[in-house]
């Protein structure tokens, strides 16, 4: 029964790498060492690998330690979400959207719910909008904590240096979200026209306690890494994303902002109550690995500011538009809509086409990591493997979104 999996033939990606290697040899290229003929090796990194942050496979053509060519192979987590959308009702699909970018589930749900609300012409009440912003920004903090923690973990030999600190603090955020929504990771919290539950008693006080603590925790992370000579040497000047790359490849999120491009959908294409909130769009200048790390740390501080403002401005009132309490089967009028939303990783877009029935006709996710990953062959060629690990960790990929 299991024998058909024992195959020794190279697959398409490896064949492509070998073809490119043959072409390079035919062109008469030499190695990077003087007087040595081309002696490159095609090596597979992944799909099971501790540093690829998921099931990403990189077919690398190596010349010693130098990477000459990288072919990313994805699809190892393709779960046919876009086809499943055509078999599930709009409401049944909300938990599946959660599992797209599983580290930022609330933000993914938000993108989907915004699109359906636009199709239906519903506006949630103000209290629900504020609760959405609060939970979305808390999720952003949790997501950046994982990003920074695993990134620094990749750089260190035994793997878990900063991870312990950031995951400990992520548990604090998840406690808050668990008492709000009932789940630690896949929240299933947003509804069309509001949210599922209102803030429980005492939640605001617990949240404020956490918000008072969070900036000191970010200070702790900065004290751990940002002045460390080895860390700086490994991250400064590496993996530079230029503004031309941002324009050509559609890079969004902290990766683009670290290169000096002030693109933040919460400012440029505001949704929900973001126009009323005062926060800074964190922009760095160099676009290297260190700047992306700094960008995420500073964004965590901005998230704290946003949540504090929301808690101060939180109005009383309903948390869900009355007409959508039950039944939960909706049939939006025919039409198509695209809504982009600022995920912790970039612009997460949902394109929904409805033909008037209970099931979507076409659902397409525009995933930020899918576009960011396209930059890999350009970013990773010509550098050493150790630097490649640092660069790929700083781009912050979540394969659930790339493969959908």
Please pick, from the candidates 4, 202, 229, 312, the single residue that binds another protein as defined by CB under 8 A. Answer: 4
Please pick, from the candidates 16, 43, 122, 314, the single residue that binds another protein as defined by CB under 8 A. Answer: 16
186 binds another protein (CB under 8 A): yes
Closer residue to another protein in complex, CB, 54/194 = 54
27 binds another protein (CB under 8 A): no
Tokens encoding 275: 């126009």
Tokens encoding 327: 């039944």
Helix (H) or strand (E) holding 166: helix 161-181
CB atoms within 10 A of CB 19: 10
48 binds another protein (CB under 8 A): yes
89 binds another protein (CB under 8 A): no
Task: For the CB of residue 250, give the shortest distance to another protein in the complex, in Å.
Answer: 5
Closer residue to another protein in complex, CB, 340/393 = 340
30 binds another protein (CB under 8 A): no
For residue 5, the number of C-alpha atoms closer than 13 Å in the C-beta half-sphere is 2
For residues 300 and 141, the answer to whether their CB atoms sit within 8 Å is yes
Rounded-to-5 percentages of helix, strand, coil across the chain: 50, 15, 40
Please choose, out of 28-36, 184-192, 209-217, 302-310, the segment that lies near another protein by the rule CB under 8 A.
Answer: 184-192
Residues from 240 through 279 that contact another protein (CB under 8 A)? 243, 246-250, 260-263, 268-269
Task: For the CB of residue 387, give the shortest distance to another protein in the complex, in Å.
Answer: 20
| Dist CA 194 CA 123 (whole Å) | 8
| Dist CA 30 CA 37 (whole Å) | 5
| Dist CA 111 CA 365 (whole Å) | 9
Please choose, out of 4-12, 26-34, 218-226, 299-307, the segment that lies near another protein by the rule CB under 8 A.
Answer: 4-12
Question: Coil, strand or helix: which one is 60?
Answer: strand
For residues 70 and 96, the answer to whether their CB atoms sit within 8 Å is no
Closer residue to another protein in complex, CB, 143/394 = 143
- DSSP state at residue 5: G
| Dist CA 125 CA 308 (whole Å) | 20
Residues from 142 through 181 that contact another protein (CB under 8 A)? 146, 160, 163-164, 167-168, 170-171
Contacts of 357 (CB under 8 A, 6+ apart): 331
385 binds another protein (CB under 8 A): no
Please choose, out of 99-107, 133-141, 222-230, 287-295, the segment that lies near another protein by the rule CB under 8 A.
Answer: 99-107
Closer residue to another protein in complex, CB, 80/228 = 80
Question: Coil, strand or helix: which one is 206?
Answer: helix
96 binds another protein (CB under 8 A): yes
76 binds another protein (CB under 8 A): yes
Task: For the CB of residue 187, give the shortest distance to another protein in the complex, in Å.
Answer: 12
The reply to whether omega before 47 is within 30° of 0 (cis) is yes
What is the sign of the dihedral through the CA atoms of 176, 182, 186 and 189?
negative
213 binds another protein (CB under 8 A): no
79 binds another protein (CB under 8 A): yes
6 binds another protein (CB under 8 A): yes
Task: For the CB of residue 36, give the shortest distance to another protein in the complex, in Å.
Answer: 30
Closer residue to another protein in complex, CB, 308/355 = 355
Quick note: the x/- pattern for another protein over 108-147, rule CB under 8 A, is --------------------------------------x-
Residues from 321 through 380 that contact another protein (CB under 8 A)? 337-338, 340, 347, 349, 351, 353, 362, 364, 366, 370-371, 373-374
The label of the residue with tokens 């029935």 reads: 357
Helices 385-395 and 289-313: crossing angle in degrees, nearest 10, is 20
């Amino acid at each position: 029964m299991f024998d058909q999996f024992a195959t020794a033939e190279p697959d398409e990606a490896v064949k492509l790498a070998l073809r490119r290697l043959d072409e390079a040899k035919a062109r008469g290229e030499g190695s990077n060492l003087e007087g040595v003929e081309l002696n490159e090796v095609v090596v597979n990194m992944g799909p099971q690998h501790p540093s690829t942050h998921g099931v990403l496979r990189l077919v690398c053509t190596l010349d010693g330690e130098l990477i000459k060519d990288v072919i990313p192979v994805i699809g190892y987590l393709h779960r046919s979400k876009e086809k499943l959308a055509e078999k599930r009702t709009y409401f049944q699909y909300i938990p599946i959207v959660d599992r797209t970018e599983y580290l930022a589930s609330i933000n993914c749900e938000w993108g989907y719910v915004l699109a359906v609300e636009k199709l239906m012409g519903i506006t949630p009440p103000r209290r629900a909008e504020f609760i959405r912003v609060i939970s979305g920004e808390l999720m952003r903090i949790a997501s950046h904590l994982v990003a920074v923690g695993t990134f620094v973990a990749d750089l260190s030999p035994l793997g878990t240096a900063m991870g312990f600190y950031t995951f400990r603090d992520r548990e604090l955020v998840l406690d808050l979200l668990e008492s709000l929504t009932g789940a630690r990771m896949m929240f299933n919290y947003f509804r069309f026209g509001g949210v599922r539950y209102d803030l429980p008693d005492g939640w605001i006080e617990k949240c404020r306690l956490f918000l008072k603590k969070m900036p000191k925790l970010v200070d702790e992370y900065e004290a751990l890494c940002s002045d460390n000579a080895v860390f700086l040497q490994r991250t400064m000047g590496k993996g530079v994303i230029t503004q031309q790359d941002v324009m050509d490849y559609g890079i969004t999120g902290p990766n683009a902002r670290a290169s000096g491009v002030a693109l933040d959908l919460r400012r440029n294409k505001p949704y929900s109550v973001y126009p009323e909130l005062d926060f800074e769009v964190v922009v760095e200048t160099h676009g290297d690995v260190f700047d992306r790390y700094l960008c995420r740390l500073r964004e965590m501080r901005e998230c704290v500011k946003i949540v504090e403002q929301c808690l101060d401005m939180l109005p009383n009132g309903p948390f869900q538009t009355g007409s959508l309490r039950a039944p939960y089967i909706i049939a939006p009028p025919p039409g198509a809509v695209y809504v982009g939303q600022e995920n912790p990783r970039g612009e997460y877009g949902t394109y929904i086409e409805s033909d008037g029935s209970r099931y979507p006709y076409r659902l397409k996710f525009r995933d930020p990591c899918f576009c960011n990953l396209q930059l890999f062959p350009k970013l990773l060629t010509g550098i050493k493997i150790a630097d490649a690990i640092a660069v790929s960790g700083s781009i912050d990929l979540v394969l659930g979104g790339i493969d959908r």
